Structure 1
Amino acid sequence: MKTETKRTPAASVQAMHALEGVEALQTRFVQGLEKFGGENFQCLEWFRDDGRHGGGRRFGVQDAALLGRASVNVSQVHYDDEPERRLGAATAISTIVHPVDPFQPSVHIHISWTEMKSGRGYWRMMADLNPSVPIEENKERFARALQAAAPEQYEEAREQGDRYFFIPVLNRHRGITHFYLENWNSGDVEADSALAWRVGEAAIDAYLRILQENAAKGFQPSETERAAQLAYHTLYFFQVLTLDRGTTTGLMVHDQNDVGILGSLPPQVDKNLLLSWVSRMPDPQDRLLDRIIRALPNAGICTIDDAVKINLCRAVREHYRHYPEALDLQASGGFAPPTVDNHR
């Protein structure tokens, strides 16, 4: 008789509370997206070391009529049974939506609690709006919601986000408004938890309102706007795989949730546009982009399916195993936590 695989939760009380919080955010967002998109999200589970060190549950849709690609992942990884590891537990919600309509912006939201065995812990809070066709009203609504949720922290978070999501070789940002607090610990456990939940709820609710209001306006995208969306999705893909520290860290720590980690990737990219950026990349990241391009299908416009995601994961790992010093070239909001080392 086959034994059902189960995820063992972290023993820490704070980690348990963090898991309850991110699961509540997951439910809030999934229910809102299902209501808007009219399609039920599929649930997939993954397990870290057969569940002994936790794992996660991901809700998502792929190529849905309105929402296109959407992934709302909650995970908790811990090392309660391995005293030599520095990391106690890492608990997170990471979500991305890439709607079909070019007038509907993509969104990225991440809230996580990292707890070391030394007793120290910190929050990471991110929320950024990423449109291919920028609409000022949407930008202002999203920014106002986050400012209301974190009035004392907003300016610092906006500045960190603008640093983190800047793409030097293209001299532009990924999105139009960014919120990012890294290594956040004010010393008040309850206040910090409340801040994290406010930020998550504000970003989710603001985004759902943006989707609803844009849909009500009945925009009719032109071929020019669809082309702009493909170019923007290519830029998003480029930023995630060459600069995003969280994505790279996840891939370097383990290979047990590769498709989930790359759930942030858009449905299609323009390979020729990626090729035009190779010469702009610093050494050795030009080789990283070359590996990424070679991992794509042999086509001008490439569909990013699960098989391609696996190839991309291998390409990224291979690059950083050859050039570990290149991890220092990843994006930073001002503080780069030693996440990979914490898992060792």
Structure 2
Amino acid sequence: MMHEQKQRAAAWFRDLRDQIVEAFEAIEDRHDSGPLADHPVGRFDVRETNRTADDGSDAGGGLMSVMRGGRVFEKIGVNVSEVYGTLGEAAQNSMAARGVPGIAENPQFWASGISLVAHMQNPHVPAVHMNTRMFWTPGAWWFGGGSDLNPCIEYDEDTAHFHATQKAHLDPHGAQEYPRLKAWADEYFYIPHRKRARGVGGIFMDDQNSGDWEADFSLTQDIGRAFLPAFVPLVNKRRVQAWDEADKDVQLVHRGLYAEYNLVYDRGTKFGLATGHDPDAVLMSLPPMAKWV
């Protein structure tokens, strides 16, 4: 049965990827007025990624889809992957320390997921991150992921819309889920050395295993389904807004915070590099340009 469940999860992540790519290219098509409307229409460059085990055998891969220099999106990556094999010692020890059942005795794993990071041309349009994933070892399975908003110029109504949309998608799973996942995101997306949050929050979970695979998969799907209705209206509202070089400078400095977090703290970045996945795919989350004061 777990083989079927793995394939259902991997197919869902791929389908979500296709929905997002189509929606974002449509935004590029519609942007025919406002800043950068005379730029070429952005399109995703797509290439396969491959992971090779230490012994040279196939260990899975995925699709890396990146748009650069569009009218609305300065850089966005939407990656899906399905990888498997044997965990390296560092990753194995880290998971054992987290209490993953059986991982100390058997380091075999399988993982699939979608990961998205969007950095925008217009400083008034917030950057955003989203990922969902399923992880399996011989002793356990779990889901993880979420999405969070990262504006450099904050608008309270945008933050309210983003959170309200996520809450609406989580409420069918129980009134406790949105507060639980929001609090987890507030803790996870915090930058200790800056003593501040990376953005205005969102939802996040990890090691989600209630014992009911169907329920946890449904929750993970609704985290993914919430993304486009939470984010696209903000893009459409702000993409035509005028901006100046001072706004751009604020954006570049804020991107520095984003880069610091992803390189120092992000669990997904550490796992991807530790397990030998394509480093360009793992690091696609980094902004095209950033600035430190």
Instruction: Place the TM-score, normalised by the shorter chain, in its bin.
Output: 0.7 to 0.9
- 1:249 aligned residue (271, 280, 283): 271
In the TM superposition, 1:1-344 aligns within 5 A as 12-38=3-29, 39-49=42-52, 52-79=58-85, 85-118=106-139, 120-151=140-171, 152=174, 153-215=177-239, 218-254=240-276, 256-270=277-291, 272-273=292-293
1:43-97 superposed Cα distances (whole Å, 9 cap, x missing partner): 11111117722101011112223101000000011139xxx85333101100010
How many residues of Structure 1 are paired with residues of Structure 2 in the alignment? 256
8 Å contact from structure 1 (residues 79, 85) kept in 2: no
Structure number with greater CO (CA < 8 Å, separation at least 6) is: 2
CA distance in 1, matches of 2:109, 2:3: 8
Aligned to 2:98: none
Runs of 4 or more, structure 1, over 4 Å off, are none
How far residue 213 of structure 1 moved from its aligned partner, in angstroms, is 2.1
Give TM-score scaled by structure 2 length: 0.83
Higher mean Cα deviation, 157-166 or 242-251? 242-251
Give 3-state SS (helix, strand or coil) of 2:125's partner: coil
Distance in 2 (CA, whole Å) between partners of 1:140 and 1:51 is 48
Residue 13 of structure 1, CA deviation: 1.5
Instruction: Name which of structure 1's ranges 46-55 and 25-34 shifts more when overlaid on structure 2.
Output: 46-55
Q: Please give the alpha-carbon distance, in whole angstroms, between the structure 1 residues aligned to 2:254 and 2:23.
A: 25
Q: Tell me how far apart the structure 2 counterparts of residues 141 and 183 of structure 1 sit (CA, whole Å).
A: 27
- Residue 44 of structure 2 aligns with an amino acid whose one-letter code is F
The SS at the match of 1:225 is helix
Inter-partner Cα distance in structure 2 for 1:46 and 1:104: 30
| Contact 1:150/1:199 (8 A) holds in 2 | yes
Structure 2, unmatched stretches of 5+, are 30-41, 87-104
Counterpart residue identity of residue 4, structure 2: V
State the one-letter code of the partner of 2:272. G
1:59 & 1:205 partners in 2: Cα distance? 21
Distance in 1 between residues matched to 2:199 and 2:3, nearest whole Å: 36
Instruction: Give the aligned CA root-mean-square deviation in angstroms.
Output: 1.8
